[in-house]
Amino acid sequence: MPPFSKTPLNIVRRVAERGEYDRKAIYEIVDDALLCHVGFVADAQPFVISSFHSRSRHTILLHGAKASRLLKHVKEGHPVCITCTHLNGLVMARSVFHHSMNYRSAVLFGHGHAIEDEDEKMHAFQVLTDHIMPGRWKEARHPNAKEMNATTLVRVSIDSASAKTRSGPVGDDEEDYMLPVWAGVLPVERRFLDPQEDARLASGVDVPEYIRSYHRGKRNEVGA
């Protein structure tokens, strides 16, 4: 997969060496994320809306209610910007100025269109479902005609993108290393707790293995 071209749209300017344009690295950040933020401008007003997403090859799938302003905007083909962020650690420097965070984030630019074909729509539902919980599509009831009709699914081309990553220890000014101030990284880890079964669960239904063993993406490296 060729990297994304560096253009005035996607080039990382501040601490440029943290920028990455490799598709695999960018797609890993997108795929590990459960949540994205979709930015768009409507009537000269910027909006940034939280959404769940899935990547399908070089596109992002989004879905929601037919009445959703975001989805109406996307399917009309206007430009959108989608971001995914993972927080890995709080970086406590000796000086306030050098406090930072360890993170992986991706910013994607593209244009959308509606998915109209019924088979493609059903496939998009499957990809979105399995993005959140691999294995769920096989078990849960699939959308019926009424539910399909009530849902808009869109595909956003990933025309341009960049990733930015900070990892590693504190970077203080040389003269500050002697200060009697605690410095280091407080790692952040995403963790799923024990499943809580629904009060109306049909009898005899056990927690599936794919939920019992659910985890997502890379474990955060300590200090990374």
Ligand X SMILES: Cc1cc2nc3c(=O)[nH]c(=O)nc-3n(C[C@H](O)[C@H](O)[C@H](O)COP(=O)(O)OP(=O)(O)OC[C@H]3O[C@@H](n4cnc5c(N)ncnc54)[C@H](O)[C@@H]3O)c2cc1C
Residues making contact with ligand X (CB under 6 A): 35, 47, 49-52, 63-65, 68-70
How far is Cα 85 from Cα 58, in angstroms, rounded to an integer? 19
Q: Which is closer to ligand X, CB of 47 or CB of 192?
A: 47
Minimum distance of ligand X from residue 154's CB (angstroms) = 10
Spatial contact of 75 and 152, defined as CB atoms under 8 Å apart: yes
**Position 66, amino acid:** K
Q: Which is closer to ligand X, CB of 68 or CB of 162?
A: 68
How far is Cα 160 from Cα 176, in angstroms, rounded to an integer? 40
Minimum distance of ligand X from residue 95's CB (angstroms) = 35
Sign of CA dihedral 18, 48, 80, 218: positive
Minimum distance of ligand X from residue 18's CB (angstroms) = 26
Q: Which is closer to ligand X, CB of 152 or CB of 162?
A: 152
Nearest to 63 by CA among 150, 181, 134, 144: 150
Q: Which is closer to ligand X, CB of 43 or CB of 175?
A: 43
Q: Which is closer to ligand X, CB of 10 or CB of 105?
A: 105
Q: Which is closer to ligand X, CB of 36 or CB of 91?
A: 36
Minimum distance of ligand X from residue 17's CB (angstroms) = 32
Q: Quick one: tokens of 65?
A: 């209610």
How far is Cα 50 from Cα 144, in angstroms, rounded to an integer? 26
Spatial contact of 122 and 142, defined as CB atoms under 8 Å apart: yes
Minimum distance of ligand X from residue 70's CB (angstroms) = 5
**Position 147, amino acid:** E
Nearest to 153 by CA among 123, 115, 201: 115
Minimum distance of ligand X from residue 215's CB (angstroms) = 19
Parallel/antiparallel/unpaired status of strands 100-114 and 184-187: unpaired
Residue listed under structure tokens 């994607």: 108
